[in-house]
Amino acid sequence: MPSNDQPTDVAAYAAAVRLALSDLPTQEADILLEDLEDHLAEIAAEGDASLADRLGPPQQYAQELRAAYGAHPSARAQHASLRLTARRAVQQVVGSKVYEEVRAFLPQLRPAWWVLRAYLAVLILTAAFSRGDGLGPIPDPTTKRGLAQILATGVAIWLSVRFGRRGRPLPQPARVLAVSANVLIAFIAILVLGNMRSFAYSQVIGTLYQGQPPSDAAFAAGPVTNIYPYSQDGKPLTNVLLFDQDGRPITMEPSEAQTTYPIGADGQPITNAYPLNQRHMSGDPVAAPRVALPPWPTPTATASPSATSSPTASPSPSPTR
């Protein structure tokens, strides 16, 4: 004897089968499933057991049907199923507990955003209208610009909060505009802040680096630790005293080699007599480097009028002597 809920059982089972075959092209599905309900009703009329008990789960039934019919999903249906997967993923996120918690928590952050967007808007305007460097995320109250910035930020916060607290929602087009403006402020602010040197860097680190001479950078091979003067004819000179443009003795930075300075008659070390007498940590004296002396122009080649002005002591065929 058929059970009372037989028609609903048939309808539900057929619906599940149709759903499982929803990826088939519509026309094909129509032909295949044309009299599915009648067929299932016939089976249901045979006994009391539910269709799922007698035929297996509807998904499996659909699979068997698909195989026997030799049907393939359409390309369009595959796109649709991709879209379906994406929608399911979104639904899963939206339905999750974490999302709900975040959603419940977000409105509480709104006033914070009202303040933040006012500050960011003033920051963007300041960055747009001032070309000076040293513009930091925190206004400098010791400058006129900084003071104006702080004042403007205060006014902007007041306006922003007032605007945010206005209870009634905006009409649709204005709402879109407002959301776009908020997103734009956040986006530009990220760019501006990214380009900005931080307060700490510009104020503290910047001054620290100012006093550092670029000595290492000037000599690619490393710092100068000693100077070996040579005469024009290639003889190594000793105890050459070097001074800079202001008359100060030129000295070397202390290096790993130990330097022994000659002591003057007044008891003071003479620190600018080159080459310096240096010893390695091991005690061995630092050997003079091999140098490539440049070839000077030969006297015959320079027998031009300018040769007379040469102050060198080289044997010159000058007839003025």
Partner 1 sequence: MSQAELDTTQLLKGVLDLAVLAVLAEADSYGYDVVRRLRENGLDHVGDASVYGTLRRLYQAGALNSYVVPSEEGPHRKYYGLNNRGRKALDQSAQNWASFSKALNHLLNGRSNGHAK
Site residues, partner 1 (CB under 8 A): 31-32, 34-39, 41-43, 45-46, 55, 61-70
Minimum CB separation of residue 15 from partner 1 in Å reads: 16
Report the C-alpha gap between 303 and 306 in whole angstroms. Answer: 8
Minimum CB separation of residue 43 from partner 1 in Å reads: 6
Tokens of 132: 């000076």
**Centroid of chain to Cα 256:** 40
10 Å CB burial of residue 40 (0-12, 13-18, 19+) is buried
Of 17, 18, 106, the C-alpha closest to 59 is: 17
Q: Which is nearer to partner 1, 59 or 239 (CB)?
A: 59
Report the C-alpha gap between 308 and 318 in whole angstroms. Answer: 7
Minimum CB separation of residue 35 from partner 1 in Å reads: 5
Tokens of 235: 């003889």
Q: What is the DSSP letter of 263?
A: B
Minimum CB separation of residue 66 from partner 1 in Å reads: 7
Residue 274 has a CB neighbour count (10 Å cut-off) of: 17
**Centroid of chain to Cα 98:** 29
Q: Which is nearer to partner 1, 64 or 100 (CB)?
A: 64
Minimum CB separation of residue 34 from partner 1 in Å reads: 7
Minimum CB separation of residue 58 from partner 1 in Å reads: 10
Q: Which is nearer to partner 1, 31 or 138 (CB)?
A: 31
Q: Which is nearer to partner 1, 67 or 98 (CB)?
A: 67
Q: Which is nearer to partner 1, 1 or 218 (CB)?
A: 1
Report the C-alpha gap between 127 and 10 in whole angstroms. Answer: 70
Q: Which residues pair with 236 in a beta bridge?
A: 230
Q: Which is nearer to partner 1, 43 or 273 (CB)?
A: 43
